[in-house]
Amino acid sequence: MRETRFYLRTALAVAVLLGATLMLGSAGAEEPGPHDELPTFAPRGADTCLTCHDGDPKVMPIFETPHGSLTDARAPLANLQCDACHGPGEDHARRLRPRQDRPPVFAFGQNSRLSREEENDVCLTCHKFQGSTHTHWYGSTHQRQDVACVDCHRIHIAQDPLRDKKSQADVCYQCHTRVRAQSFQPSAHPVRQGLMTCSDCHQAHGTLTEAMLVRPTLNETCYSCHAEKRGPFLWEHAPSVESCANCHEPHGSIHSPMLTRRAPLLCQNCHSRAGHPSIAQTGDRLPGGRPSSFLLAGSCTNCHSQVHGSNHPSGANLSR
Amino acid sequence: MDNKKPTFTPSRLSLGIMIALAAALPANAEQDAEVAEDTPKNAGWMFDPESAFYYWPPAPPADEWDACSLCPDVSGWTGDATVGIGYVSDESAYFGRYTGLDDDGLYFLGSARGRYLGADGKYLDLRAEDVGLDTRSLGVRGGERGRYRAYLNYDRIPGFVAENPRTVFRGVGSTDLTLPADWETATSTGGMGRLDDSLTDIRLGTNRDTLSVGADFFRKRTWEYGIEYRRIEQDGFKTQGASFLTTSSILPMPVDRVTDQIEARVAYLQEDWHAILSYHGSFFSNKADAVTWDNPFTPLTAGADRGRISQEPDNLFHQVMLAGNWRPTARLDTSARMAVGRMQQDDTFLAPTINPTLTTSALPRNDLDGQVDTLTGNLRAVYSAGSRLTFIGEGFYDDRDNKTPRDAFEQVGTDTFVGGTRTNRPYSFERLGGRLTADFRASSNVRLSAGGRAEQVKRTYQEVDKTETTAGWGEIRATPTDRLDMSLRLTREERVLDDPYTALADVIPEENPLLRKFHLASRDRDQIAARLTYMVSDRVNLGVSADYAKDDYDRSQVGLIDARDRAYTMDVSATPRDNLTVSAFYGREQIDSTMASSAGFGVPDWTAGQRDTIDTVGVTLEARDLGKDGFDAGIDYAYSSGKGRITMQTGFPTASLPDLESRLNTVRLFGRYRLSDKLSVRVDYLYERYRSKDFALDDVAPDTIPSVLTLGEESPNYSAHFIGTSLNYRF
């Protein structure tokens, strides 16, 4: 009965939500209207801009990037050129009257007069067509937190650090400072060293999975590299199957291999059968005292070493 | 060892998808040529703040734009190559993990990058890094911009297994570990008379090699295709305990695994909607699927002088996913995803034992015939009710339907005795839930957010059939000035059991009835997160964060009782001059937990508290273009300290456990001097000092634990210097 109520409540909430959003969405639809007074574009396109900016090292490397391609019909340079992102630039390029400030074009990043959302929409004008990577941008954590594309990407240099395996993590660590600290732990994935990237596990443009993981579930994300843990096994370890995060902290830990707590305590959190699982392992069981197989070396895994599951017919207790 | 090999051939379903993808690829180059015609020429964007809508103003044709006479000609080859030599002062497996510098001595240093750009849009990128090291990486990428690209990447990650291990076993690297011919068994490690003479030093490490080959195709703006094949090879060693009832040996186990993966996708893109159909196939193969070893202890029963332990079986996974986005108006964005998958595993079972003196019943089946069907569905709708208010509604469903057959298997306890039968428990899970979020811009400087989440998880064969979790949260974000950004978020979450927690009947001996496993137990969770970023000036930024999380399992008497996590970070970055950057950070995290248990199999009679304290400090300084000849230099220092303190309270006087400790000091220096426009010389220096204490390893020689023959590995401790010099040539 309680289950039925839960389903009914959930279905009702989803129906109301979708109905309301669709109704409001159609009611709020607005068609773009003609604009009488449009700013005008730079009269000679990029040539107008390069009249002054030619040779500027903060500008010119873009010609080495996909954005600076004249042959890619999708690229800004093959369309409205500089104006495609920086807006109509005729006023900016015009000869100034005495004491007149030069009217700015749209700039990005610090001191931009565009809001973060407006900045991003400039990029999304073209990049929304990258269906495989930007499908779930709206509503994602980064979108909701007003992260701008240019907070992470640099497009006027030949090699965007975010797209370089060696330097990507440093970009992410600028905001994810706690994760950076975790990366220094004795047991951590080699992200800080540039042998893995944050984007191996996370899709920063948003996904529908928690923590913007690249696969539909947490465990499937882990199995991308650790397929040996996937099974199914004859004898499964339930918490392992349900979520790797029950025992592991993937950003780093002082307990190898990236465990949330130290064995045997980690295991004793869930195992309290009569006998050795429920015995307290104290400092009396160290070398020099009565060295314990339940505390030292691999602790519980000295015997129960198949903690991710066993396919041995006699492996019910995960020791074969 | 005559296990059936994996079914590597993708299923007919996946084959069909790949054929469909191939059929949908561009038929010929003429079709590609339509790209330009299909794209609005000279189109641009313009933001209308009234309607919050973007449109394409009519830009006048400007033929002269196409010429772009001032655009630089970047066609041709560019790149650079580095050749040098490095020296490492000390040998350490731990230092070598992730650096490839595990041996002392000389190393060749080499890297190169090359890029060809053609005037017709064709390009080729070549990359080789760490050529002389185990961390080597290669990449080739080429194609024609806007039409297609193909790539090949290879990289290796060296891993750490153990520091200075020693073993008595022979045949290390094989799946058959034997003892020396003159080995003398004993009931405890202390009585193994030939132990010291038989120990040999071994080197244990792993390498993970990944090769990926793929291609992407773009047809007009409406079609996008991609396919990738990836092969991951792991080889080397791991350590694993293997037991005979009351005794155990830590074995140097071979690792020889291969995972083949295929990804294929096709996307159809329109102005206001798009859809992506993709396939993911993963095929895992283990060449070392079982290991046999000699029992170094006196066998408890006849025939228990050799044992066999299984390794991970071959398995495969297919998944088809459909994802899409529909944006009917500027105010409404919807996206959805559905993934259907199947995991399979049918490796032939090993025999229940290799003990020839034991008689066992026939296995109920020759292989598991394991199958898990997965179904994941997600929906999200984002609605902007005006310029200030946004609602986000999400629903999710995740089903792991384990269809593996159940059977009773007679258990042979560690190749020693025949015990009773156990029936396997193929676990299934079903998660269903939703989230609703509202973001409200109270003013141009303040945004308020609030939301709630409800989730239900159903499980099979576990102590709790169903749990329900509800959560609510609120957040305020304020930007009182253009330079200051602050946020505070509070979250409250409750997990309740829908049914009584019931200990499993077929677990013998039974679990303490007061135990509540933490992932199934009732739990209250509170979280606080605060952030502040302040742009002190155009050249100085400051960031501070604080996170607090507390889990209460106050209805648990045995098991995890509470957990608490506090983390603080502080960051400063500055560019005092255009050619000088300075940054520093500090972080502290403190993780506490308390558990209770009962040695008397009743009410709790002992507790354990664990506190992990982690401090991290880093400073980076980099200067470029010093002096008129161009000299770059940088220094990077990092310090990280981890301390784990375990406090046992048993009601009796006991010795305390020593703290777990790790301290890492790293200093990196570099200097680069430009000899000419094309040639530069660089000097690198790295010093790393690592100290660690781990009571589980320290002073634990192979014969320290009477019932466990260990590898005598040590806590990693090293000081290593690396110095290298290299020449870089740009072309």
- Give me the pLDDT at residue A111, please: 78
Locate the chain A residue with the closest alpha carbon to B716. Answer: A186
The gap from C-alpha A93 to its chain's centroid, in whole angstroms, comes to 39
Q: How far apart are CA B138 and CA B156, in angstroms?
A: 9
Which tens digits make up the pLDDT trace of A281-315?
999 999 999 999 999 999 999 999 999 999 999 99
Looking at residue B508, what is its pLDDT?
Answer: 80
Contact B313 A24 (CB under 8 A): no
Tens of pLDDT, residues A184-235: 999 999 999 999 999 999 999 999 999 999 999 999 999 999 999 999 999 9
Write out chain B residues lying below 8 Å of A220, CB-based: 319, 341, 374
CB contact B439 to A (< 8 Å): yes
For chain B, say whether A245 makes contact (Cβ under 8 Å). no
Res. A7 pLDDT band, cuts 50 70 90: low
List the single residue in A with minimal CA-CA distance to B271: A129
Q: Which residues of A touch B295 (CB under 8 A)?
A: none
Contact A280 B597 (CB under 8 A): yes
Q: Give residues with Cβ within 8 angstroms of A209, minimum separation 6.
A: A215, A216, A217, A218, A221, B378
Residues of A in contact with B144 (CB under 8 A): 71
Q: How far is B91 from chain A (nearest CA, A)?
A: 18
B54–A125 C-beta distance less than 8 A:
yes
pLDDT at A5 over 70: no
Distance between CA B58 and CA B469 in Å, rounded?
53
| Residue B698, pLDDT score | 95
Q: Does B8 touch chain A (CB under 8 A)?
A: no
| Mean pLDDT (whole number) for A239-243 | 97
pLDDT digits (tens, 9 = 90+) for B51-85: 433 444 445 445 556 678 899 999 999 999 999 99
Identity of the amino acid at B589:
E
- Mind giving me the DSSP string for B617-675? EEEEEEEEEETTTTEEEEEEEEEEEEEEEEEEE-SS--PPPPPEEEEEEEEEEEEEEES
Strands B540-552 and B523-537: antiparallel
Residue B182 distance to chain A (closest CA, Å): 26
Judged by CB atoms closer than 8 Å, whether chains meet at B599 and A255 is answered as no
Q: Is A185 on the interface with B (CB under 8 A)?
A: yes
- Rounded Cα distance between A160 and B456, Å, is 42
The pLDDT of residue B53: 39
Q: Which token pair is B533? A: 């970023």
pLDDT of residue A50: 94
Mutation target vs A (from B70, B234, B499, B611; most A CBs, 10 A cutoff): B70
Which of the two residues, B716 and A133, has the higher pLDDT score? B716
A283 chain-B contacts, CB cut-off 8 A: 648, 654-658
Six token digits for residue A190: 């080699």
Chain B residues within an 8 Å CB radius of A75: 145-146
Rounded Cα distance, A150 and A147, in Å:
8
Entry pTM: 0.90
Q: Do A21 and B510 touch (CB under 8 A)?
A: no
pLDDT classification of A148: cutoffs 50, 70, 90: very high
Distance, CA of A106 to CA of A116 (rounded, Å): 12
Q: What's the pLDDT score for residue B62?
A: 52
Which among B35, B224, B385 has CB closest to A73? Answer: B35
> Which residue type does B135 have?
T
Interface mutation target, options B64, B315, B566, chain A, most CBs of A under 10 Å: B315
A181/B587 Cβ within 8 A: yes
Q: pLDDT value at position B628? A: 76
Range name among A59-73, A162-176, B273-287, B630-644 with the lowest pLDDT average: A59-73
- Give pLDDT < 70 ranges for chain B: 1-66
Residue A126 to residue B269: CA distance in whole angstroms: 12
Interchain contact, A69 vs B121, CB within 8 Å: yes
- Cβ neighbours, 10 Å, residue B245: 18
Q: Which residue of A has its CA nearest to B708?
A: A293
Name which of A317, A84, A196, A165 is nearest B45 in CA terms.
A84
Give the pLDDT of residue A37.
55
A122 in B contact zone (CB under 8 Å): yes
Whether chain A has a CB inside 8 Å of the CB on B191: the answer is: no
Of A212, A176, A187, nearest in space to B585 by CA: A176
Cβ-contact B714, B699 below 8 angstroms:
no
Give A261's contacts in chain B (Cβ within 8 Å): 593, 610
The string over A248-268, giving b where at least 16 C-beta atoms fall within 10 Å of a residue's C-beta and e elsewhere, is: bbbbbbbbeebebbbbbbbbb
Looking at residue B507, what is its pLDDT? 82
Q: Which two tokens stand for residue B10?
A: 């993708």
